[in-house]
Amino acid sequence: MNGLWELIVANRWELLEAVAAHLVLVVEAVGIAAAMGVPLGVAASRSERLERGILAVANALQTVPSLAMLGFLLIVFQGAIGKPPALAALVVYAVLPIVKNTTLGLRGIDAAVRESAAALGLTGWQRLLWVELPLAVPSILSGVRLAMVASVGMAAIAALIGAEGLGRFIFRGVSLADLRLIWLGAAPAAVVALACDAALDELERRLDPLRRSAGHWAGRTRLLLAAGLAGLTLWGLVREYGRGSEAAGWVRVGSKDSAEPILLGHMLAELIEAETGRPVDRRLNLGGTLVCFNALERGGLDVYVEYTGTALTTILGREPVRDAREAREQVARGLSERGIRVMSTLGFENTFAILMRREHAQRLGIRTISDLARHAGALRAGFGPEFMSRPDGYPGLVETYGLRFASTPLEMDRNLLYEAVRRGTLDVAAGDSTDGRVEELDLVVLEDDRSYFPPYEAVPLVRASVIEADPRLADALNRLAGRIDAATMRRLNAEVDGKKRPPREVAREFLREQGFLGGP
């Protein structure tokens, strides 16, 4: 945990903005859920059959894993990333406790109270609005409190699809294997959840005459917490919607979820700002290939860095091509038909690398993937989810080399695979050839002696309509053409993965070295 305080100080404003954005997302989601859940709870309290139907649907949605829900909503929102699908997911999960507690609160009202209201001549709607709902408010607030506390934790996962909030620190920490960044996101999220719980509990106590007060000082502290949360939320709303009014001039730069794409994303963002003067919205550290590309194709992103072999097989669904130039030309033609321009290659190739501990590989005499096939029956393997399913990944690798591992390979985040191999939890994994952790952790890259993997040249992809609207962007994006070789990329990755330096700082330093940016 060395350097955590320095990291907090260095990122204090970004952290404060992330807390505010996190609160805005949660408050908006719970507000929409309450607007839906209270009427549904009222309807359920009037009919047991209707209650069973509503709760059955709500319970079924609750059982869907959060990542699966986000994936489903990305399809529903046609690849759009950011707040809309994240907000929809949180609403789905927040509705159930509000419906249940509204139903329980209304059904818990004494029958004599309803009879007295009817005797006074109140209509059904008047009884509901003036008598029943006010009496059920403490129970409804209890449901809102449960929904809000759960949503604070759930909102962190939304960073995978580009939503702002504390989750971006957590997933950045996972991507960069930096425990400090994980704490930087997780600790404030826990504090926010506890603060929301305490503030709403105090409000619930004050509205329920049957509950005892938490005490003078405790109550005052909770009210201060509520005021602080409200202030942060209001500031977040002003910041978000004030910025949204200027969105037409922004360029949205995205990236996948590891050090290299994040570094390259920062480089492109810095060049765009320096050469065009336009502000950049950095939506970095998103999910895998299809999350980024679908967002690009549907307008959620304007530019991100892709690899030609990945674009050819995963995006275009074509057979792998061994010639780098032919692969690049096929990708350029195929994507141009979908409104995407392929810019000049950055100068390096990042192919898949089958990794082992150096000592283990030497002891077994494994130098190539063909050598690995002879020992695979006694080895434990692990690969990333994308590698396990893509046509240029595990299925074709097994077929080409006849690999038969002792058990089904583990699927885990690819950024965790390096450490798993180093520790001996896994014997074999798939990484990236330009990853700085290969040398740092003393791993060995097995030779692809049958040339299974296609070329993976790094190229920026940009929406054609964006280039046509502002031709300066093409010049900015091509400034890095041929300027980064594999050795340089490994060195830059090692600065981030090994030395735990901020990717944006490393990106700026490289651009200054190349003469693209002036001054420190």
* Cα distance between residue 268 and residue 458, in whole Å: 13
Residue type, 156: A
Task: Give pLDDT, residue 215.
Answer: 61
402's torsion region: left (phi>0), alpha (psi -120 to 50) or beta? left
Nearest residue to 88 via CA among 158, 160, 167, 193: 158
Task: Give pLDDT, residue 229.
Answer: 85
H helix or E strand, kind and range, residue 460? strand 458-463
For residue 51, CA distances in Å to 41, 96, 110, 491 come to: 8, 12, 20, 61
Task: Give pLDDT, residue 443.
Answer: 92
Give, for all 520 residues of the chain, the pLDDT tens digit. Answer: 566 777 777 778 888 888 998 999 999 999 999 999 999 999 988 888 888 888 888 888 878 877 777 777 777 776 677 788 888 889 999 999 999 999 988 888 888 887 787 777 778 788 888 888 888 888 898 899 999 999 998 888 888 777 788 888 888 787 777 788 888 888 889 999 988 888 888 877 777 666 665 566 777 787 788 888 888 888 888 877 765 544 567 899 999 888 899 999 999 999 999 999 899 989 888 877 888 898 898 888 999 999 999 999 889 988 888 889 999 999 999 999 999 999 999 999 998 899 999 999 999 999 999 999 999 999 999 998 888 888 788 888 999 999 999 888 999 887 789 889 999 999 999 988 898 888 888 899 999 999 898 899 999 999 999 999 999 999 999 999 999 999 999 999 999 888 888 899 999 999 999 999 865 4
Task: Give pLDDT, residue 385.
Answer: 85
Name the superfamily (CATH) of residues 352-445: Osmoprotection protein (prox); domain 2 (3.40.190.120)
Within the chain, all domains assigned CATH 1.10.3720.10 are found at 4-244
Which two three-digit tokens encode residue 182? 């994980």
Q: Are 202 and 214 in contact (CB under 8 A)?
A: yes
Within the chain, all domains assigned CATH 3.40.190.120 are found at 352-445
Which two three-digit tokens encode residue 180? 């400090």
* Cα distance between residue 474 and residue 278, in whole Å: 13
DSSP class per residue in 213-246:
P--HHHHHHHHHHHHHHHHHHHHHHHHHHHHHTT
Task: Give pLDDT, residue 209.
Answer: 61
Within the chain, all domains assigned CATH 3.40.190.10 are found at 248-349+464-513
* Cα distance between residue 206 and residue 138, in whole Å: 9
Task: Give pLDDT, residue 361.
Answer: 94
Task: Give pLDDT, residue 245.
Answer: 42
Prediction pTM value:
0.77
State whether residue 300 is helix, strand or coil: coil
Q: What is the CA radius of gyration of the chain?
A: 27
Give me the CATH topology for the region 4-244.
MetI-like fold (1.10.3720)
**How many Å separate Cα 255 from the centre of its chain?**
11
Architecture of domain 248-349+464-513: 3-Layer(aba) Sandwich (3.40)
Which two three-digit tokens encode residue 309? 């072999």
Task: Give pLDDT, residue 131.
Answer: 84
